[in-house]
Amino acid sequence: MDKNQSRRQVRLMRQSLFDQGFLDEQFIQLEELQDDANPNFVEEIATSYYRDSSRSLQTIELALEKTPRDFNKLDGYMHQFKGSSSSIGAKKVKAECQQFREYCKAGNGEGCMRTFQALKKEHATLKKRLEAYFQMARQAGPIETACRPK
């Protein structure tokens, strides 16, 4: 794929991430922070996020398995997780976090379990998409300034 095509590909991938609701405005904030001094800033952030969030997910999973469920604790964990996810603009993940917290507040263990599964799925999906995107971006070379999705 030539440069132009690569870049176009990258742009499309990026756009679809937004269009499909995987990412939100916050991701653009990160992109805007990227500069010559930190050319891979966004990717670094995403890497950091996935490293920490995987750990968090494990913690939450363990906590979910405990009975009786400590909803307060779970809510606390999820609050942190949500904050983290929102900071990179992980929109769908964030939505699941919110749903999870709702169930926690309601003391709905089943709902929590279900939501947690959905959350893990979204988390994994986004990871794959981002990895592909970053890889393509690196191959394509420097991308133009981030532009806001319509």
Partner 1 sequence: MNLSNGMGSMSTASSSGAWKSADVVSDQFPAGLRVLVVDDDPTCLMILEKMLRTCLYEVTKCNRAEIALKLLRENKNGFDIVISDVHMPDMDGFKLLECVGLEMDLPVIMMSADDGKSVVMKGVTHGACDYLIKPVRIEALKNIWQHVVRKKKNEWKEVEQSGSVEEGDRQPKPSEDADYSSSANEGTWKNSKRRKDEEEEADERDDSSTLKKPRVVWSVELHQQFVGAVNQLGIDKAVPKKILELMNVPGLTRENVASHLQKYRLYLRRLSGVSQHPSNLNNSFLSPQEASFGAMSSLNGLDLQTLAVTGQLPAQSLATLQAGLGRSTAKSGMPMPVVDQRNLFSFENPKLRFAEGQQHLSSSKPMNLLHGIPTNMEAKQLANLHQSAQSLGGVNMQVNAHGVQNSALLMQMSQPQSRGQILNETSGTHVPRLSSSIGQPILSNGIPSGVLGRNGIADNGRGAGYNPVQQNSSMLNFPLNNSSELPGNNFTLGSTPGMSSLTSKGAFPEDVNCEIKRSGFGASYDIFNELHHHKSNDWDLQNVGLTFDASQHTNTMHGSLDSSVLVHQGFSSSQRSAQSRNPSTVGKAMFSIGEGTHHVNVQNNGQHLNSLIVDNTVRVKAERVPDASSQTSFFHEQFGQEDLMSALLKQQEGIGATENEFDFDGYSLDNIPV
Binding site for partner 1 (CB under 8 A): 26, 29-30, 32-33, 35, 38, 41, 44-45, 48-49, 51-52, 76, 79-80, 82-84, 86-89
Round to whole Å and give the CA distance between 2 and 30.
27
CB of 91 to partner 1, least distance (A): 11
Q: How far is the CB of 52 from partner 1 (least distance, A)?
A: 6
Q: Which residues contact 42 (CB under 8 A, 6 or more apart)?
A: 27, 30, 31, 33, 34, 134
Nearest distance, CB of residue 84 and partner 1, angstroms:
5
Q: Quick one: DSSP state of residue 119?
A: H
- Residue 104: count of CB within 10 angstroms of its CB: 24
Element housing 137 (H / E): helix 109-140
Would you say 4 or 148 has its CB closer to partner 1? 148
Q: Of the two residues 50 and 103, which places its CB atom closer to partner 1 in the complex? A: 50
Query: How near is the Cβ of 49 to partner 1 at its closest, in Å?
Result: 5
